Amino acid sequence: QELEKASSLLLQAVCVAASRADVSKILGILKEMLVDEELTEEQVAGNVTHQIYMIRCQENSVLDIARKDFAQVSQQVHDLAENYRSTFGLKKLKLHFSARKKFHFGVSKKFVESELSEGMPETFIPLQASQANLFYTTLELNVLNSRLQTSLSDCFEILASTIEALTEQVKGKISHLRVLVEAISTLDLILSFAVLTGRSPDGYSCPDLEPSGPLLIVEGHHILLQSKGEAQSNSTFLSENRSLEVISGPNMAGKSSYSRQVALIVILGHMGSFVPAKYARIPVFSSILTRCTVRNDSGSIEDNLSSFYMEMQDIARITKSLTPSSLVIVDEIGRSTSDADGEAIAWSVAEHLLSAKAFSVFITHYEIFHQMPSCYPRCLHRAFPVCAAQADCHRLQDSRAASGRNSEAAGQYGIDLAQSIGYPEEIIQGARLLSKLVLQNKSQASSQQASSADQSLRLKMQAYDQLEVLSLLSSKSRLSEADLRSELSRIQDDLKKLMTTCG
């Protein structure tokens, strides 16, 4: 009835599917035959009474007779237990049931020792003793258990034939039942989206899904971290002129979370859900190709594969499936081989992604990637800074602004982590000395290779990016007026700084 009032075309389609005449007939047959009682699968599986009474009374006279016999024998068992309590003065005698021992009696050891000086009557046959209880049966109870098992077997045999007949009756209309199931699952999906958005209405927005064009996410969050209140917002912009985003930074800064955040926002947008961002413009992607560090990164003993081999398998799969309309997430490759081979493979993969013009987020620790924007203007390098303030440590910055790119602090973040874990001090001191020497050599080499022309081109490309984002936000943004003004003001400030730097 509520769906009939809906204005949404999707909800109207769900309503039509759920109210079809054939579906109503199937539901009528099921309601007529089955007991309308809400029980979990565990409750039904663990209780034979629920199982044999799942078919309504009067629907099968033979089944009704078998169930009455089962009920009568069950009542005789309880009557026998009550008779033993009164006859032998066993007021604390309890009746138990298990699949293996069937009905049996139990009494505590403490009661037998304190109340029965001569022990249990001879009528009771010992079955089992636990730390606190004694369990017994009797000849009369064994007879009743045998009769009960026969009645139960008759019930299940008749029940199976009844359910088989019901299945045959419904089988001819199974396609209509499948339509109903799909309608219910669609409604459940829509409800899940609504519940997800309702938990944090200010943190979600309706994305603009476009056939093509740039990917723009303003202050996006990782959906799982946001639910825990631990999310740090980061924006993303990928376009035809800026298709590769290289991400670097210290360990535990949030690089992997950021890359997954981008993929999850795109997936939610394609599913028709609101997304955890202030604003999102999402083009239609043909595929999302990922190489992440969660799948057996220590290798596979069963398949006789090393971690590096599995890593290369993932990259090979990506290159075979890659199209210009793909979104690619690469989270650190080349780590499990020599530095020279690892850097060469990672750089070549990044170049291949650039040539394919696929929007890509590429995470790496290799210092050589600081030079990629100078070689390829369509590449943007962003970094998580090394900082003391926790609030700033998980926010992406342009690589030039991230503090201490080649500084001792940035280069020794991993050593700081090792020290906090408990590495011996002599290892820490030796590592710090070697790290400082390596960073000095790399700093001298990179300063000799940098040119003012490359730097100027890079800054002009960033200015162009900012202008494109500015145009998108002002034309189609669903941000509130205050948020829009704030975002535009920030972009204008960034443009002024870039223009000043470019001269």
Helix, strand, coil distribution of the chain in percent, nearest 5: 55, 15, 30
Return the higher-pLDDT residue of 53 and 443: 53
Question: For 176-187, what is the mean pLDDT?
Answer: 83
Residues 52-85 pLDDT 10s: 777 776 667 788 888 889 889 999 999 999 999 9
Residues 336-363 pLDDT 10s: 777 788 888 888 999 999 999 999 999 9
**Tokens found for residue 377:** 């203007």
Burial class (CB in 10 A: 0-12, 13-18, 19+), 191: exposed
Output the pTM of the full model: 0.66
pLDDT surpasses 80 at 412: no
Burial class (CB in 10 A: 0-12, 13-18, 19+), 96: middle
Return the higher-pLDDT residue of 158 and 5: 158
pLDDT surpasses 50 at 407: no
Per cent of the chain over pLDDT 70 is 80
**Is the CB of residue 296 less than 8 Å from the CB of residue 227?**
no
Mean pLDDT, rounded, of the chain: 80
Cα gap 323→348, rounded to integer Å:
17
Residues 231-287 pLDDT 10s: 678 889 999 988 999 998 887 778 888 999 999 999 999 998 899 988 899 999 999
Cα gap 94→60, rounded to integer Å:
35
Per-residue model confidence (pLDDT) at position 434? 77
Residues 463-495 pLDDT 10s: 777 777 777 777 766 667 777 777 778 777 776
What is the Cα Rg of the chain in Å? 35
Residues 278-302 pLDDT 10s: 889 999 999 999 988 655 555 555 5
Cα gap 154→62, rounded to integer Å:
10
Bridge partners of 398, per DSSP, are 382
State the CB neighbour count (10 A cutoff) for residue 203. Answer: 19
Return the higher-pLDDT residue of 326 and 175: 326
Per-residue model confidence (pLDDT) at position 408? 42
pLDDT surpasses 90 at 198: no
Q: How far is CA 356 from CA 34, 260, 325, 344, in A?
A: 59, 21, 9, 18
